[in-house]
Amino acid sequence: MFITSLIAALPAAALAPESAPVILQPLDSSIAALVAQDEPGQAPEWAGSVSLSALSTTGNSDAESFNFDSSAELRRTQDRITWKSFLNYGTDSASGESVLAQRKMGTSLQYDYFVNDAGTTYVYGNSNAEYDALADLDMRLTLGAGGGYQFHEEEMFKLSGEAGLARVTEDFEGTPSEEYISLRLAGNLFKQFNSDLTLTQSAEILPSLEESDDINAKLDSKLKLNLTKSMFTSFQWVLDYDNTPSGSNDRVDSRFVLSLGWSF
């Protein structure tokens, strides 16, 4: 505080007579904010969460399930890094034998670079990998790039949209691997209703530019309620859409998950 006040007083001191006392003036709030950003301990940090859920039933039903979900974001003045991952696993033994009910996992990484001083327009590069045993999907790898616009970014409300191209590689069990170029349209929403309740939502659609039937889409919505400063409970709904699924599998796959998690 002493150093910042002294900096503000230097111009007045230079013009004053040697015998005149130096009067320290408070810094303008905007300048003080800039100085504070350079002070130790003010560097941007990762922010995110980890949530877990597990269920085991016996008797009339005999089933087990486990779900893991995590995300992290590093937001700096010029760029942003976002990482997500999930794992869903479940078995059903009602028939006397353990039958796989769910085994699905995925991870994604995106880098955004803001190209204007206002921090609204950015270019991005991303990658996404998914595996789904029941859908016979051994691997779907997506590599994309494009541009985005941050329509709003405040503590209580954030909204962004993106458009670009992606290269999609799909490997279904028992069939040759397929590759195609697709358009990518995506959006991200964050809404904080009060100090304890928040909603996050992301949507993405990948329509192929080579085969009109190849369309993949995902909608991920999570409602989070804080229990303590770092602990929360969440309800998550994830909808996956594949217009050309393997074999007789359904086009739409939905997951509803109630979890307990920790924020950092």
pLDDT computed for residue 36 by the predictor: 40
Q: Which residue has the tokens 């941007």?
A: 44
The per-residue pLDDT for 133 is 94
Under 8 Å CB-to-CB from 54, ≥6 apart: which residues?
Answer: 64, 65, 66, 67
7 pLDDT above the threshold of 60:
no
Residues 68, 203, 84, 264, Cα dihedral to 10°: -80
Residue 77 tokens read as 């003045």
41 pLDDT tier (thresholds 50, 70, 90): low
Computed over every residue of the chain, the mean pLDDT equals 86
Strands 121-132 and 157-172: what pairing?
Answer: unpaired
Q: What is the mean pLDDT of residues 170-193?
A: 95
Residue 24 in this model has a pLDDT that exceeds 50: no
- CA dist list (Å): 35 to 11, 19, 29, 75, 183: 17, 30, 10, 19, 43
Average pLDDT over residues 231-249: 93
Contact indicator for 164, 140 with CB cutoff of 8 Å? no
- What is the C-alpha to C-alpha distance for residues 98 and 96, in angstroms, rounded to an integer? 7
Rounded average pLDDT over 109-138: 96
Domain ranges of the chain: 1-43, 46-263
Q: CA-to-CA distance for 47 and 69, rounded, in angstroms?
A: 15
- Decide if pLDDT at 261 tops 50: yes
Predicted local distance difference test score (pLDDT) of residue 42:
65
Helix (H, G, I), strand (E, B) or coil at 151: strand
Residue 14's pLDDT band (boundaries 50, 70, 90)? very low
Tell me which CATH code domain 46-263 carries. Answer: 2.40.160.40
Nearest alpha-carbon partner for 122 in 65, 91, 82, 181: 82
Nearest to 87 by CA among 63, 126, 127, 53: 53
Mean pLDDT to the nearest integer, 104-126: 97
Mean pLDDT, range 210-233, rounded to an integer: 96
**Amino acid identity of 94?**
A
Question: Confidence band (pLDDT; 50, 70, 90) for 16?
Answer: very low
| pLDDT of amino acid 98 | 84
pLDDT for the residue numbered 182:
98
Mean pLDDT of 181-200: 97
Give whole-number Cα distances, 101 to 31, 62, 96, in Å.
58, 12, 14
User: Confidence class of residue 25 from pLDDT cuts 50, 70 and 90?
Assistant: very low
Query: What's the pLDDT band for 232 if we cut at 50, 70, 90?
Result: very high
Contacts for 99 with CB less than 8 Å, ≥ 6 apart: 91, 92, 93
pLDDT in tens, 54-101: 988 887 677 899 999 999 999 999 999 999 999 999 998 877 788 888
CA distance 104 to 140: 12
